[in-house]
Amino acid sequence: MKKLLVITLTLFFSVVFNGFSQSTASADFYAGKWEIAVAGTPRGDIVFKTNLTRKDGKLTGELVTDDTKRPITKIEESDKKLVIYFESSQGGEISIDLDKIDNNTLKGALMSFEANAKRVKE
């Protein structure tokens, strides 16, 4: 009876541990170069280029368009979501909310505008 209990507990904890290990992204998954396209804004379609780097355990960087550079004020990250905060010229601090689609694609919104991010491969 004790052997059955030990085997059952071992199998249970193996399944639970395996589930947790698959659901967490690596610490540097979002670090790197990204191109974030926002469609349909009053200024037309906008493409932000960024190189997210990890400093003191936190992601940081800036959003660059053809004519401006906007420092990123804060980034919230989880294994399935990335939220990038920055100061807009007219709306104060706003965010781009992006959900992980696969290892090279994120999809979400900047306010009510569709946003898509693709990893830039070197």
19 occurs within a structural domain = no
- pLDDT of 71: 93
Provide the pLDDT for residue 116. 97
Q: Is the pLDDT of residue 5 over 80?
A: no
Asked, for residue 25, whether it belongs to a domain, the answer is no
pTM here is: 0.75
- CA 7 to CA 79: how far, in whole Å? 31
What was the pLDDT predicted at 67? 83
Q: Is the pLDDT of residue 19 over 90?
A: no
Is residue 86 in a domain? yes
Domain contains 26: no
Interval 58-114: pLDDT, tens: 999 999 998 889 999 999 999 999 999 999 877 789 999 999 999 999 999 999 999
Q: What is the pLDDT of residue 92?
A: 87
Report pLDDT for 106.
97
Q: Is residue 65 part of a domain?
A: yes
> Does 67 fall in a domain?
yes
Q: pLDDT band at 24, cuts 50/70/90?
A: very low
Residue 60 in any domain: the answer is yes
HEC letters along the chain: CHHHHHHHHHHHHHHHHHHHHHHCCCCCCCCEEEEEEEEEECCEEEEEEEEEEEECCEEECEEECCCCEEEEEEEEECCCEEEEEEEECCCEEEEEEEEEEECCEEEEEECCEEEEEEECCC
pLDDT > 60? residue 120: yes
Could you tell me the residue range of the domain that residue 110 belongs to? 32-119
Q: Domain holding 40: CATH number?
A: 2.40.128.120
The total of structural domains in the chain comes to 1
Q: Is residue 10 a part of any domain in this protein?
A: no
